[in-house]
Structure 1
């Protein structure tokens, strides 16, 4: 399977790059956005350097701001030796430019340039990242530096805050740790916020009384992270860029890979503080950033919480009938892994099949679907649906809930989650675990529209 996916990726890149190059060469207008994919050495601290690939020579990549529905021209130049592609995570785009080879987006060949025209929608905090195969190379694909913040501004911005701060969580280096059952799990050396280890980057400087809107992204290839800000709390207003029906003030945030949280923080505790990963060993690996009030001095202060606390349900409303009395078509998706014998990696499967052999359920435009996600494995899985937003309806044996709209949901080990979406964006639609190692070993499938 791994060879099949790698070969498929490479062949797609070689075949499609020249087509995109011709399309780009015919356009003389200056693009609104230029992304250059090129080798880069990240200095996470003076003692920690990583050879990686990045957008525009920085990690995270440039913060892109676009206006909802306002046409944008994006030019992508691939200056690496491998085929590449940029996925616009959370946007409702045609399959041909969404940025996944499995949907039919052409790969950009080494040395080639692609140009896309898109109308960004929906508004909110999105992100962009590579969508390629890594295998055992912990310097490639999402293990590397190809990720950036994407903010789609609504037509009318009614935000009540003084300023915004964007924070990206990421894990680097390390090795693959193999179990007797064929499982392969990455173990990391370094963790960063905005590409820097705690103490190695500039602090976030704030003023007393400010209302700071923090946009937090977990771009880690595989790891769930819990973060807290000593001396402060987070008033969560949006998840995955979508406003929550019940904003809540919480002591910490939990983000699975690819999830985003937007929260207001009242700057009402002058001092020098640490915003960092709650688990001590991960913060010790570098995942933290200093929050410094104007005029404050001294060593940054951290206060260790006792428990890991998070529950999607607190941001939703209680269950009720579906809108417009829609009939719902249920699709059961069962997740497990298959041991292939000693010396071989396990395969991840959906309904007993591993990509590219997985089924391709056919969707009818306008129909509402409920995905029943049954996780039989001992791992938690962050499940992502491309090109659509879903409503989280049920988690385990808890009551139904409403209104919580996301594009990634973490399905805990040995449990079931249920989400609903309307099939309103025709085209091939990828559904996959957002852990790079699981995706590489077949944890993907494609929905097709009738």
Structure 2
């Protein structure tokens, strides 16, 4: 059954002929010869299942960016821009994205944080074949949860994410949220030198530690930008960490701000105080009241300035009041009394494998004594880390046996963060938990989505050097 579903999604370049001009997401000049105009267009003349505003054409292609003033960086982007084109859907509706690969290497798209069918998850060899250069694939799924999400490849990830293949995916609430203004801020630190040339995305010595850090921090592709907020009015600010490696210690000295959602899921609004550690793959939704017109405040990573927040005279009607809490997403509540507990240990292997010939990523990390083999470029036939019964509740005990942080991400399902031995937790729903050094935390979930789901650290070169595995739900794995 899965093979037939996947094969129906494939399209080829010839299918572009006869498009109607509509919602533009793709964009390379060479496509104009087949009638795509300014770089992409809607396809299909009638789609009763998908509303027109949630029906997209998306192209991945090379593009030079001026990250370092006066220099060009040979990036890879979605929709001829960085961050990648903002894709928006509405909670409970269908979303369709016809994706075309104009890179010189295969790729996929993973929809980070979205609960969807396994066939749409974008993991090579697990949920779909890699999409070759010049070919297309239709991603189509319902979006059950409102919130801030993002999309990226799940193949050759260090390079493809490192070179810029990341983009925001925003799912709006079905009813008005109470916010009248919004900003989307994508955090990324680039692996570039002073001339804008890329440096190594993954260095084994660094991959065996915190991960290989870049040198140039940006927000929406700009170093230390000025973010203008209407003075005295409340703006919804969506912060997305799209970086390969860096955990940002976000702080906003002097700002009036409240937290409204974590990793896409609403929480009871609370004051933003001190700092919030936002690891790779994680998202944070804030309400920020703009400072007085002309006043400037800072957004920082620890003591390092990421951006300047400047109050400006409002140009449209807004509100100075804090909106009510966002409506909860329809996530199944785990039955903690009946839940089965499964333990996961995240460990350093202890010795690097031979990496001298560059044939395979080294094994540096492991989960429960098993390191993922072959990076993402080859089939992985090993057994899953755990087999879950469909519909049953589980508690995962996550134990970090190392001195480095690991943002642990689960595909296909949402878990409830329960508690930690290192810090106080107000329980909340998420798909990515930042597991601190030597920390033990517990998360709970209902195994309500059948499939073979990836479970990994979102520090990309940790993932590619072993800190990844699969979780089987239902009869997804019958080895």
TM-score (norm 2): 0.76
Instruction: Specify the alignment match of 1:194 in structure 2.
Output: 220
CA gap 1:208/1:327 in 2 versus in 1, 3 angstroms = same
Instruction: Specify the alignment match of 1:289 in structure 2.
Output: 307
CA gap 1:23/1:95 in 2 versus in 1, 3 angstroms = farther
Instruction: Name the stretch that deviates more: 220-229 or 386-395.
Output: 220-229
Between the aligned partners of 1:443 and 1:371, the Cα distance in structure 2 is: 16
Between the aligned partners of 2:386 and 2:353, the Cα distance in structure 1 is: 33
Instruction: Specify the alignment match of 2:165 in structure 1.
Output: 146
CA gap 1:114/1:99 in 2 versus in 1, 3 angstroms = same
- Which SS does the other structure have where 1:141 is aligned? helix
Between the aligned partners of 1:336 and 1:211, the Cα distance in structure 2 is: 43
Deviation of the 1:246 alpha carbon: 5.4
CA gap 1:404/1:184 in 2 versus in 1, 3 angstroms = closer
Residue 164 (str. 1) matches residue 189 (str. 2): no
- Taking the TM superposition and a 5 Å limit, the aligned residue runs for 1:196-211 are 196-199=222-225, 203-211=226-234
Q: Is the 2:400–2:438 Cα contact (8 Å) retained in structure 1? A: yes
Q: What is the aligned-residue RMSD (CA, Å)? A: 2.8
Deviation of the 1:417 alpha carbon: 1.1
Between the aligned partners of 2:353 and 2:121, the Cα distance in structure 1 is: 38
Between the aligned partners of 1:228 and 1:48, the Cα distance in structure 2 is: 31
Instruction: Specify the alignment match of 1:316 in structure 2.
Output: none
Residue 446 (str. 1) matches residue 470 (str. 2): yes
| Residue from 368, 382, 399 that aligns with 2:407 | 382
Deviation of the 1:17 alpha carbon: 8.5
| Residue from 387, 394, 411 that aligns with 1:369 | 394
Between the aligned partners of 2:207 and 2:310, the Cα distance in structure 1 is: 47
CA gap 1:269/1:433 in 2 versus in 1, 3 angstroms = same
Between the aligned partners of 2:206 and 2:348, the Cα distance in structure 1 is: 14
Between the aligned partners of 2:258 and 2:352, the Cα distance in structure 1 is: 48
Residue 86 (str. 1) matches residue 109 (str. 2): yes
Between the aligned partners of 1:341 and 1:335, the Cα distance in structure 2 is: 16
Deviation of the 1:353 alpha carbon: 0.5
Deviation of the 1:266 alpha carbon: 1.1
Instruction: Specify the alignment match of 1:226 in structure 2.
Output: 249
Structure with greater strand share of residues: 1
Deviation of the 1:392 alpha carbon: 0.6
Q: Is the 1:233–1:252 Cα contact (8 Å) retained in structure 2? A: no
- Which SS does the other structure have where 1:250 is aligned? coil
Count, aligned residues: 396
Q: Deviations over 1:72-110 (max 9, x none)?
A: 221101000111111111111111111112532232111
Deviation of the 1:259 alpha carbon: 0.6
Q: Is the 1:43–1:196 Cα contact (8 Å) retained in structure 2? A: no
Q: Is the 1:73–1:115 Cα contact (8 Å) retained in structure 2? A: yes
Structure 1, gaps ≥5 residues long: 1-15, 297-321
Q: Deviations over 1:98-145 (max 9, x none)?
A: 1112532232111101112211121111111111124xxx6x122121
Residue 332 (str. 1) matches residue 343 (str. 2): yes
